[in-house]
Each structure stands twice: as C-alpha cells, then as structure tokens.
Amino acid sequence: MVKKKTEKKSTNQILVELFMTQVGAITNVIDEQGEKIFVTDNLLNTDEIKDYSLEFMELLVNVLHAGEKINRRGMEYKALRRFFTEFSNQIQVRGGTLDEFIRYTQFLQKVFLEGLEHDAKLTFEESRSVLLLVAGIFNDISLDVFNVYLEEKERTIQAQQDELKQTSTPITEIWDGVLTLPIIGTLDSSRTVAVMENLLSRIEQDRARVVVMDITGVVAIDSQVSHHLIQMMRAICLMGARAILTGIRPEIARALTSLNINLGDVVTRSTLSEGLKEAFIYLGVETCTVEEKARQK
Amino acid sequence: MLTGMHLTAIGDNNMLLEPTDALDPSSPDDYVAELMEVLQKEEAQTLMYDLNQVPLIDQVYYNWLIRLNNLCRLANVELVIVNIRTTAAFSLAMSLKTAPPFKCSLDVDSARHGITASLQD
C-alpha cells in the first residue's frame, strides 16, 4: 500500500493561495472601503485609492513570496512598512486623522480574515497560524502609523511653541532709534535667552538708542523672572542703549517689593505711553499737535 | 607706544583705545601706569574703549575693564565702552551680579555726542 505523501504548506503559502484565489474580490472590497473612508473627506481621489491598493497588494505578495516565514528584517517587509508610513503621512498632510487610517488598516486585516472563512479546506491549525501572521503584520503597520502621527504631532507642537515665542515678544521700532518690547506671559530662562538674542541683534541692526520694555502683560513675577528682567536691562545698557521699564502693575510692584528686589537705577514709567514720552525727552524729540505748532508760530 | 593697544586722540579731549590681540587682560599692572601717563598728558576727559574685536568678555576681561574704570576715575576721565558685540553683551549680562560701573555707547560717534547708557546714572 502506497502512502499518499502530503506536503505541509507554510502559512505564507496558505495566505498567498488565499490571496490569489480571491484577489479580484479583495481588491474590489478594499477600493470600495478606501473610497468610503478617504474620498468622502476629500483626502484621496478614486485613482489614488486604486494605486495605493495595487501597490499594497504587490508589496504584500512580495513579503509572502520572500520566504517560508515572514522575515521582519527583510527588504520586502521594510518596503511594506515604509509604504504605510508614507501613505499615512500623505493622509495627515491632507488633513486626515489617525482614526481614519487605523480604520482603514483594520479593514484590510478584516478582509483577509474573512477570506479564511470561505476556505473550507483549511484546518484549525492553519487558520490560526494565518490569523496570527496577518495580525502580526497589521500590528506592526499600526505601530508605524501611530509613530508617524506622534512624530508629526510633536513637530507641530514644537513649531507652534517656537511661533508663540516669536509672536509673544514682538520687537518693534516705533520711532527712529526707539524699540518697544512688550513682554506677555512669563519669562523663563529659555525665553529670556531667545528674547535677549533677538533684542540685542535689533539694537545693533536698528542702531537703537532707547528700548522701552513693557511688562503690562506679565502675569506674575518671582525672583527668577525679576532676575531675568534685570539681565535684559543690563544687556540693553551694555549695547549702549537706554532701557525704560513700563507697565509695572500694582500686583507686580507688590511682588517686587516683597521679594526685596532692587531694580537699581532702572528708569521706570507707569505706562507704555509715558515710557515713550521719556524716550522722546532723552532723544530731544518734541511732539506737539498741529494747533500747538500754529500757535507757536 | 603702549603695547597691546592703540591709543588715539580723536579730538575734544576724547581718546580712543582699541585693544589688539597682544593685550593680556590678566596682567593689568603692565598697562596701568603707562596709560595713566598718556591720559594725563593728552588731558583726556573721555576714554572710549572699543570692544569691536572682542567676541567674548569673560571674568578676566571684565576685571580688566573694572580696573581700567578705576584708573579712569583716578585720572578724572570717563570710561565709555563702545561697539560691544551682541554675543559679548549677552554673555556679560548673563554673568554679571551687579551693574557695570562704566558707561556704554553704541559706537564712537554716539559716544562723542554724549549718547551713553548706564545703570549707574
């Protein structure tokens, strides 16, 4: 009696066969779902979805053909992951969210698993191994996509923080040789460094003779903030410009006195407008209304 | 001629001091006496110290400036620091514990017109 020799198929082979027999149906379902998720939100057009589906299929087949087992360090697997990274990047650039992309990848996973149900020849063991393989691949993809979103989010937050730093301390030349620096919020070390660098460069560039620092927008002051203020005043003086501190609100004044901080010989004025007047006096500039000028004549 | 610096009378009893690379700020004693002699001879009223070629002012250099300021006070001369670089002003402001005793001016021209700044006014 001759025993029929049956070759045990690898999980990759099972998946490739499943894929080959149902490629048409799988592609159609993926396209359809892709349109539902991405086209309705104008993230991708139909042609792009078809291209992406096709590329995904090719890359997946390459991964499955690369060996009996999936080599997670292999070029084919890396290419598949890179494809999803770039795909998710594009979705994000066009205003898509992580939810949409994860929904899409979960759907892809579901399509493959549903394909298993239609294949009655598969044993429990084979179904289980295919399930594990597919879940493993899509877990990696989900992790990659999540990391891409996280990195992009961090980049956005950093960019916003940088922009906030720039816009929260606008240095403006309001008169020839007079710069104003309204400080809003709080002054920590990193912000002080950034503001001082900008301010000193502007003094040099604009040949400024007076800098009016307005702290009306400073919410609270502690010894560190006041120390930073003094450092800024000194830096301004070292550049040869005169520093005028304005907008010291009663709460700030109380904090400064309770902290026993001596601003030394810093010129202070109550408001920005008073500070500007002081700057004009220092520069020898006299301002008057048209009527006043006419009367003088 | 003084070593380590160029000292030029620029009119109106103003003198301009431009330090060269040969200046050793850690040895102020090498310059003080000779400098005093020149200031008195020229009847200087203001000494403008040009920091344009000095990228960074460390504690040694700052001590030299303080020493020079003390000398100027003895000679009844006003020391005005001019042309300080932004990098030097920044690092010095960050490290100073008290306000500098000398006056500062953006450039020689401003200093000549008496446009100076000081926290000691």
Q: Is residue A130 part of a domain?
A: yes
As to burial, measured by CB atoms within 10 angstroms (0-12 exposed, 13-18 middle, 19+ buried), residue A236 is buried
Measured between CB atoms, does B97 come within 8 Å of chain A?
A: no
As to burial, measured by CB atoms within 10 angstroms (0-12 exposed, 13-18 middle, 19+ buried), residue A242 is buried
pLDDT at B121: 42
With beta carbons under 8 A apart, name residues in chain B contacting A197: 86, 90
Q: Is residue A180 part of a domain?
A: yes
d(CA A111, CA A34): 12
Q: How many CB atoms lie within 10 A of CB A188?
A: 11
Counted domains in chain B: 1
Interval B25-55: pLDDT, tens = 998 888 888 899 899 998 999 999 999 999 8
Q: Is residue A5 part of a domain?
A: no
Q: Is residue A44 part of a domain?
A: yes
Q: How far is CA A169 from CA A192, A201, A226, in A?
A: 10, 14, 17
pLDDT along chain B (121 residues), means of 10: 84 90 88 89 92 91 93 92 92 86 89 76 42
Q: Is residue B118 part of a domain?
A: no
A20, A139: one domain: yes
d(CA A101, CA B12): 77
A145, A177: one domain: no
pLDDT at A1: 46
DSSP track, A221-246: --HHHHHHHHHHHHHHHHTTPEEEEE
B119/A235 CB distance under 8 A: no
One-letter amino acid for residue A57 of the chain: M
Give the residue numbers spanning the domain of A251: 172-296
d(CA A35, CA A52): 12
Chain A residue nearest residue B96, CA to CA: A231
A236/B117 CB distance under 8 A: yes
Measured between CB atoms, does B106 come within 8 Å of chain A?
A: yes
Q: Is residue A17 part of a domain?
A: yes
A134, A278: one domain: no
Q: Is residue B73 part of a domain?
A: yes
The answer to whether residues B117 and A243 touch, using CB atoms and an 8 Å cutoff, is yes
The answer to whether residues A236 and B117 touch, using CB atoms and an 8 Å cutoff, is yes
Contacts of A5 by beta carbon, 8 Å cutoff, 6+ apart: none
A127, A253: one domain: no
Please name which of A8, A150, A152 lies closest in space to residue A68, comparing C-alpha atoms: A8
CATH code of residue B14:
3.30.750.24
Distance from CA of B77 to the nearest CA of A (A): 18
pLDDT at B19: 92
pLDDT at A212: 95
A131, A198: one domain: no
Counted domains in chain A: 2
- The single residue listed with the structure tokens 């005093």 is B36
A177, A244: one domain: yes
A25, A95: one domain: yes
With beta carbons under 8 A apart, name residues in chain B contacting A262: none
pLDDT at A44: 83
Q: Is residue B70 part of a domain?
A: yes
User: Backbone dihedral region of A284: left (phi > 0), alpha (psi from -120 to 50 degrees) or beta?
Assistant: left
A156, A250: one domain: no
A243, A145: one domain: no
pLDDT at B1: 66
A134, A193: one domain: no
The answer to whether residues B23 and B55 touch, using CB atoms and an 8 Å cutoff, is no
Contacts of A28 by beta carbon, 8 Å cutoff, 6+ apart: none
Final residue of a domain: which of A95, A130, A163?
A163
Final residue of a domain: which of A163, A183, A210?
A163
A154, A283: one domain: no
Low-confidence ranges of chain A (pLDDT < 70): 1-8, 118-120, 166, 168, 262, 264-265
Phi, psi of A78, rounded to the nearest 5 degrees? -60, -40
pLDDT at A156: 86
Final residue of a domain: which of A132, A163, A194?
A163
Chain B residue nearest residue A205, CA to CA: B86
The shortest CB-CB distance from B84 to any of A197, A239, A264 is to A239
Give the residue numbers spanning the domain of B15: 5-110
CATH code of residue A276:
3.30.750.24
Q: Is residue B93 part of a domain?
A: yes
pLDDT at B119: 64
Strand B46-50: give its sheet, edge to edge: B5-11, B14-19, B46-50, B78-82, B103-105
Helix axes A75-93, A46-65, angle to 10 degrees: 160
